[in-house]
Amino acid sequence: MSNRMWGGRFASGPAEIMEEINASIGFDKRLAPQDIRGSLAHVAMLGQAGILPADDVTAIEAGLKAVAAEIEEGRFAFRRELEDIHMAVESRLTEIVGPAAGRLHTARSRNDQVATDMKLWVRDTLEGLDAQAAGLQKALAQKALAHAATVMPGFTHLQSAQPVTFGHHCLAYVEMLARDRGRFQDARRRLNECPLGAAALAGTSFPIDRHATAAALGFDRPTANSLDSVADRDFALESLSAAAICAVHLSRFAEELVVWTSAQFDFVRLSDGYTTGSSIMPQKRNPDAAELVRAKSGRVIGALTGLLIVMKGLPLAYSKDMQEDKEGTFDALQALSLCLAAMTGMVRDLEPNAEVLARAAGSGYATATDLADWLVRELGLPFREAHHVTGRLVGVAAARGVGLEALSLADLQEAEPRIGEAVYAVLGVENSVASRTSHGGTAPDNVRAQATRWLAALDAPAA
C-alpha cells in the first residue's frame, strides 16, 4: 500500500529495508516543538496573505496546538510508516481537523520545512550552550579569585617551566571559553535567516510573505536564495565546529584533572560526587567524570567530521543524504551540554592542595628564568649570556641534588662574580610569581583584577 501522505505516484508501498533506511522519525521527533512552531507561523501567514480562508486557519492552528499538547504529555503515537516528524504531525492533524489539514502544506515543502526546523533547534541549543559556558566561566573565575596567590608549577612539554598561580591557570580556561562563546554567538547570528517559503528548491508561485514568517519565528530575515535555502547545512557545520573546539578545551582541562588527581601529582582533590570507586581495589578514587568529558570530545569531533563528509559531494539542492545531519548534530550538542555541566560541577567541587602545589612549583629549577632575568636587569648582561650563566648554575645545583636557592653566594659568583646577595630575592617561587606583573601575567594582583573583571562582566545583564 502506498504512503497516503505522498503516495499518489506509487502503486505499492516501500520494501521493508527501504522503510528501515528511509525513516527518520526515531530521531527527528526531537524536532516536534520546532516543527509545530514553524507550521503555526506558516499557516498564520497563509491566512494573512489570503491564501487560506480564515476558518481553515483557525482549525489548523487549534489542531496544531492539540498535537503539541499530545506530544508534550507523551500521548502522541510516533509511527515509523509516516517516515518523519513532518508527516507524523500532519497525519495526526488530519485526524483532528479533517481535510483542512491538507492545506497546511500549501506553498512549502518538506525541504524548506526541515531546514527551518533544524535551524530553530540549533539556534535554541546554541543559546543554551552559551549560557552553560558562561556558568563554567563564572565557576572558574570564582576559583581564580579564591586562589589568586596559590602558587603552582607552570608547565611546557609537561615539564616544570615557571611558577604560576592556580588562579592564573583557571583564568586561562575562562579566556578559552570566552572564544567558544563568541563562536556560538557568531554561529547563531549567521544562521538566523529563515528558509521557510523556499519550498522544494525554486520558491513558490503563491503570494506568500516570507518576511512575516521569518519575523514570527525570530529570524532576522528570510534567506535570499531558494536553492541555497534548502541545500545549506553550513549552520549545522559551523555549530558543530564551534562545539568541537569547545569540547577540545574541556578535554584538555579534563586531562589535567585526571593527572592532577593522581597520587603521583596530588595537586587537586575531587569529592565523592565526581569520582567513582573500583570493583576490586578498595583504595581507588577514579576521576571518571573528567575521563568521560575527555572521551566525549571524540563524539563531538566525529559528528563534525561525519557531516562534512556527508555534504562534500552533494549537488544542489536537497538530497536525502542530508537526513544524516540530525543524529550526529543532536548527539554532539547534547554531549557538549553534558560535558559543560559536568565540568562546571567539578570546578566548583575541586580543592587545590596548596602545600603540594607550592612544593612542586619550586622543583625542576622553575625559577631559572627569574635568575636569568635578574642578571639582565641588575648586571646588564645580554640575555643569551645570562641564559648560559644560569644554565651552568642549574647544572651545578642538579649535580648536588639541590635547588638554585640552596647554592651559596660563592657558588653563584663562580659563574658570575658580580652576583650579590640580592639575587636570592628572585629565587623563591612567591617572589617569582609576584614579579610577573606584565599585562596578562601571573602576578596575584593581576589575577585578582582579571577574576574580578570577569565576574562583573558575567553578572552584567545581557545587552
Q: Give the list of residues 6+ apart from residue 310 with CB closer than 8 angstroms, or none.
A: 321, 322, 324, 325
Q: Check: CB of residue 230 under 8 Å from CB of residue 117.
A: no
Distance in angstroms (rounded) separating the CA atoms of residues 58 and 46: 11
Distance in angstroms (rounded) separating the CA atoms of residues 40 and 18: 31
Distance in angstroms (rounded) separating the CA atoms of residues 153 and 357: 7
Distance in angstroms (rounded) separating the CA atoms of residues 184 and 122: 10
Q: Is 42 a catalytic residue?
A: no
Q: Is 211 a catalytic residue?
A: no
Whether the link from the prior residue into 254 is cis, omega within 30° of 0, is: no
Count of Cβ atoms closer than 10 Å to residue 260 Cβ: 22
Which residue in 157, 205, 279, 438 is the catalytic one? 157
Specify which residues 222 forms β-bridges with. 194
Q: Fill in the DSSP letter of residue 222.
A: E
Distances (CA, A) of 419 to 48, 275, 390: 87, 50, 11
Q: Which residue has the cell 577574576?
A: 451
User: What residue type is 29 in one-letter code?
Assistant: K
Q: Give the list of residues 6+ apart from residue 409 with CB closer than 8 angstroms, or none.
A: 419, 420, 421
DSSP secondary structure, 93-148, as one string: HHHHHGGGGGGTTTT--HHHHHHHHHHHHHHHHHHHHHHHHHHHHHHHHHHHHHTT
Residue 281 in 3-state DSSP? coil
Which residue in 2, 262, 271, 278 is the catalytic one? 278
Q: Check: CB of residue 430 under 8 Å from CB of residue 165.
A: no
Enumerate the active-site residues: 157, 278
